[in-house]
Structures are given as C-alpha cells and as structure tokens.
Amino acid sequence: MAIWFKQALSLADFEGLGAGTMGEHIGIRFSEVGDDFLKATMPVDHRTIQPYGLLHGGASVALAETLGSVGAAMVIDPEKFICVGQEINANHLRGVKQGLVTGITRPVHIGNNSHVWEIRIYDEQERLVCISRLTVAILQRRS
C-alpha cells in the first residue's frame, strides 16, 4: 500500500518541482517512485565535487535533504501542512570521482508532527557511498 497523499503519485508529479532551486543547479533528477520510496540521481561533475575531485559531502547532503524533504511533502496534505527540515546527519563511506550517484529514501517514522527519513546514496556500481537520516517537522499551514 502506497504511503503518498496523492493516490497515483508518478514521476510526472515531480516535473518542474525543483525549478530555480539548488537541486536544479546541481542536476538532481527524480527517477523512480515506489509505494514507499523515492529515487533521484545527481551527477558527479564540476558542480558537485570538492578540490580533490571527489563528490563533495555537502552535495551528498543536498541530495539527501532534497529526497527526504520531497518524500515528506508527498505524504502530507499540502492544503493543511508544510514540512521543514529540522536535522540531518550523514556518514560519507566511499569517494566517487565521476558518473552518477543515486539516492533512495524511505520513511523510518511518519508521525503527525515529525517524520524521519533514511536516505542511502549509491554509486553506479551500486556501492553505498553515503547514508543519511533527516528529521522533518510537520507544521500547520498558515492562511
């Protein structure tokens, strides 16, 4: 059973979602929607590397927070609530010099006031690059 607020959530629902944001600037693209997960890719290129030529940890965290925040936003009723990040942590486990990384997020906890999302980022050989956890506050939308 799907966890999403919109019953038939598809990739079409993500078109234009990140227009004008950091996610667009660094090339994050949503690639798959499942019943309880979202996937997105990000290139390892001049926008996302650090001076040693490796994927920047901050870029990995940007991918993780984008995935977890969008996941949380897709679970809540957008007419009544908004969600904002409260805390994120990340363990960087493997360096990546080129190609694409893929992040996948699943909820650990979906509560009325907060969500916790786990995000795993993999390289093109499906090796774990980074594992992250994001806590999101669910707030009532003000009129």
Q: Distances in Å between the alpha carbon of 77 and those of 6, 54, 64, 125, 131?
A: 9, 39, 22, 37, 28
Catalytic machinery residues: 65
Residue 106 makes CB contacts below 8 A (sequence gap 6+) with 36, 37, 71, 117, 118
Q: Name the residue among 26, 5, 23 with its Cα closest to residue 71.
A: 5
Residue 16 pLDDT greater than 90, yes or no: no
Residue 17 pLDDT greater than 90, yes or no: no
pLDDT tens-digit map of 46-100:
999 999 999 999 999 999 999 999 999 999 999 999 999 999 999 999 999 999 9
Q: Distances in Å between the alpha carbon of 107 and those of 29, 102, 128?
A: 20, 17, 18
Q: What is the dihedral of CA 130, 25, 38, 136, to 10 degrees?
A: 80
pLDDT tens-digit map of 21-51:
999 999 999 999 999 999 999 999 999 999 9
Residue 130 pLDDT greater than 80, yes or no: yes
Average pLDDT of every residue of the chain: 96
What 3-state DSSP class applies to 70? helix
Domains of the chain (ranges plus CATH)?
22-140 (3.10.129.10)
